[in-house]
Amino acid sequence: MLSILVIHGPNLNLLGLREPGIYGSTTLDSITRQLKETADALQVTLSSLQSNHEGVLVDTIHAALGQHQGIVINAGAYTHTSVALRDAIAGVAIPTVEVHLSNLYRRETFRHHSYIAPVAIGQISGFGADSYRLGLYALVHYLKQAQ
């Protein structure tokens, strides 16, 4: 059975409270529940982690090696700043899908650049909480095609 790791970066623990006009009113717990239901329907296992600390996220990506076949990541603000996360994803070479709640390209110019995108198999943004579900579907489809 495929195992997928979902990583939530900084400030995503505040979903439902933080800037609902941009990020919506869905909480991280609700997103996690929805993803687990989707994973069950896709017959894959799912693990998730949220951290506001870059090193914890890097360590989690490293620990995924040999444990998970795919990663769905919303690196939050680290998307635009973290070479360390980019290098961790490239280093473990686990197929990764980058997701974002908002459409990065309709926001501030500094959000238009992603360090993650060049090492991800794809990026989904702008569909609110559904971005995670769509990312999971895309990743599982990719992994099953590769088998």
Q: Which of 68, 100, 115, 132 is catalytic?
A: 100
* 136 annotated as belonging to a binding site for a ligand: no
SS3 content of the chain, % helix, strand, coil (to 5): 50, 20, 30
Clarify whether 100 is annotated catalytic: yes
Catalytic residue among 23, 78, 115, 132: 23
Q: Which helix (H) or strand (E) holds 98?
A: strand 96-100
- Ligand-binding annotation for 102, yes or no, is yes
Q: Which stretch of DSSP H or E encloses residue 109?
A: none
DSSP-derived secondary structure letter, 114? -
Q: Find out whether 62 is annotated in a ligand binding site.
A: no
68 is catalytic: no
> What type of residue is 76?
G
72 phi/psi in degrees, rounded to 5: -110, 125
Is 111 annotated as belonging to a binding site? yes
Establish whether 29 is an annotated binding residue. no
Annotated binding site: 74, 80, 87, 101-102, 111
Annotated binding site for substrate: 74, 80, 87, 101-102, 111
> Which amino acids are annotated catalytic?
23, 100
